[in-house]
Amino acid sequence: MATKKQIILPIAVLVAGVGLAVAFSAMKQPPEEKPAQDTRPLVSVNPIHLDTITLDVKSYGVVKAKDHTPLVAQVSGQVVFVSEQFVQGGFVKQGDILARIDPNDYEAALIEAQAGMAQASSDLEIERAQAHVAQAEWDRIKDDSNQMIPSQLYLRKPQLAEKLARYRAAQASEKRAKRNLERTYIKAPYDAIISERAISLGSVVNPGSQFGALSSILVAEIRLPVADKELQYLTNRGIGANVTLTADYAGKPTTWQAKVVRSEGVIDQKSRMSYLVAQVNTPYASEQPLRYGSYINATISGRELDNAIIVPHHLVKNGKIAVMNDDLTLSFKSLNIIREQNGMVIASQGLNDGEQLITSALDFPTEGMQVKLNDTDKSAGVTQLALKEE
């Protein structure tokens, strides 16, 4: 039979354990409550500003003269004069004498032709007088007999025709002699720059011998290749469009203005490009001349888009972009994409001025999802909201 001690000891141990458990439970700190986490994606925004955008087309080309003329001798002889301006790179005015061929033989030929002309003129006048006398004689004889028919020889008409033919031949000889004498002068046909010289003082030339070549400085031309798909951005296929030319002059970027005057109307077989031709008037008149042979970059002004926007290509997905609403929710806007170029998209319609364009990359954006502003954009967002409320 259990003793009293054996019964009381377990009960005392049990009571002590319960007391310790209660004490330890009272000492335990309650768990701290963690604040709710904001799981909204962080975004940056830029306000949308709609504006008028010009659809420019980029091109390039080499500057050349509209008119380029080789100088060729039309008569033979020795070169007895060469102008100081007749050097490569020299500028000349229209009508300037560049060189001259020995004129002595041609002056003698002109004198001879003039003498022949004087002789033929005298013979013609004498023959006309004789023909007049023959006609008067016939008129007197005709009164006595109306049945008689005068011969052409009697009236000296064949003789008169012969003298007239010789006179005209003498006229042609004189004209030819004058022209040959004039051709001993080598003149500039227009204001030009000398691009080549092939003769020197004392050179002997024949018809067809080349003196050199010159290029007009009145008008410069540039052939501008344009891809066929780019023509849609130009008004009237680019004809009449303004062109900004850019090139380095004396080591500094310089611009000139040109205008497209025509299209060549065909597609180049090698490059598969269409060519527009732009012109610049008096390219050498300014302090920064547009020199022939220069390689230039060109920007052709295209048609204008109203209420358009340019956005980076990576922000456009399936023709839509993400915008942030006033309640900090995301919405997708469909764009009317006009052009994609150099990593940018030009679009019109589908957007309103002042909307907030989301510029951050989102992993899984969905319509109506909650977003929060980047700290750097909060003040801008508050300002925009305040302006809208006003």
Please report, for the domain that includes residue 202, its CATH number: 2.40.50.100
Q: How many CB atoms lie within 10 A of CB 224?
A: 25
**pLDDT for res 18:** 67
**Residue 378 banded pLDDT, cuts 50, 70, 90:** low
Q: How many CB atoms lie within 10 A of CB 329?
A: 14
**pLDDT for res 343:** 84
User: With the C-alpha atoms ordered 147, 148, 151, 155, is the resulting torsion angle positive or negative?
Assistant: negative
Residues 223 and 299 in one domain: yes
Q: Average the pLDDT over each of 179-183, 188-192, 318-322, 346-350 and give the range with the smallest value.
A: 346-350
Residues 91 and 189 in one domain: yes
Strand order in the sheet with 45-47: 45-47, 356-358, 320-324, 330-334
Residues 178 and 198 in one domain: no
Query: Among candidates 210, 201, 202, 182, which has minimal Cα distance to 106?
Result: 182
Residue 31 lies in a domain: no
Question: ∠271-275-280 over CA atoms, to 5°?
Answer: 135
Residue 352 lies in a domain: yes
Average pLDDT over residues 60-79: 94
Q: Average the pLDDT over each of 84-88, 142-146, 383-387 and give the range with the smallest value.
A: 383-387
Residues 325 and 298 in one domain: no
Q: Which helix (H) or strand (E) holds 243?
A: strand 242-249
Q: Average the pLDDT over each of 5-19, 212-226, 269-283 and give the range with the smallest value.
A: 5-19
pLDDT tens-place string over residues 222-275: 999 999 888 988 988 889 999 999 999 988 999 999 999 999 988 888 888 999
Q: How many CB atoms lie within 10 A of CB 150?
A: 15
Q: Average the pLDDT over each of 59-73, 177-191, 346-360 and give the range with the smallest value.
A: 346-360
Q: Is the pLDDT of residue 5 over 70?
A: no
Altogether, the residues listed in the chain come to a count of 390
Query: Among candidates 5, 25, 23, which has minimal Cα distance to 15?
Result: 23
Residues 92 and 190 in one domain: yes
Q: Token match 């609403």: residue?
A: 325
Listed residues 304, 333, 361: the one ending a domain: 304
Q: What is the CATH number of the domain that holds 329?
A: 2.40.420.20
Distance, in Å, from the CA atom of 262 to the CA atom of 279, rounded to the nearest integer, reads 9
Residues 195 and 95 in one domain: yes
User: Which of 42-51, 119-128, 246-255, 313-322 has the highest mean predicted lDDT (pLDDT)?
Assistant: 246-255
74, 322 in Cβ contact below 8 A? Answer: no
Q: What is the pTM of this model?
A: 0.71
3-state secondary structure of 342: coil
Backbone angles phi, psi at 305, to 5 degrees: -110, 130
Residues 326 and 197 in one domain: no
Residue type at 280 in one-letter notation: V
Residues 154 and 109 in one domain: yes
Residue 129 lies in a domain: yes
Residue 1 lies in a domain: no
Residue 15 lies in a domain: no
Average pLDDT over residues 319-341: 84
Residues 258 and 278 in one domain: yes
Q: What is the CATH number of the domain that holds 231?
A: 2.40.30.170
**pLDDT for res 379:** 47
Q: Is the pLDDT of residue 382 over 80?
A: no
The chain-wide mean pLDDT, for the chain, equals 84
Residue 14 lies in a domain: no
Higher pLDDT, 363 or 96: 96
79, 363 in Cβ contact below 8 A? Answer: no
Domain range for 91: 72-101+184-215
Distance, in Å, from the CA atom of 271 to the CA atom of 264, rounded to the nearest integer, reads 14
Residues 330 and 253 in one domain: no
Strand 372-373 and strand 295-300: the pairing is unpaired
Six-digit token pair at 117?
């002309």
The stretches of the chain forming alpha helices (DSSP H) are 4-27, 104-142, 157-182, 375-389
**Residue 383 banded pLDDT, cuts 50, 70, 90:** very low
Higher pLDDT, 23 or 1: 23
Distance, in Å, from the CA atom of 21 to the CA atom of 17, rounded to the nearest integer, reads 6
Residue 343 lies in a domain: yes
Q: Average the pLDDT over each of 80-94, 129-143, 273-287 and give the range with the smallest value.
A: 129-143
Higher pLDDT, 5 or 268: 268
Residues 319 and 365 in one domain: yes
Residues 151 and 97 in one domain: no
Listed residues 255, 276, 304: the one ending a domain: 304
The contacts of residue 378 (CB under 8 Å, 6+ apart) are none
Average pLDDT over residues 186-202: 93
pLDDT tens-place string over residues 101-148: 999 999 999 999 999 999 988 888 888 888 787 677 766 776 655 556
Number of domains in the chain: 4
**pLDDT for res 371:** 82
265, 281 in Cβ contact below 8 A? Answer: no
Higher pLDDT, 15 or 264: 264
Residue 36 lies in a domain: no
- When computed from its CA atoms, the radius of gyration of the chain, rounded to whole angstroms, is 49
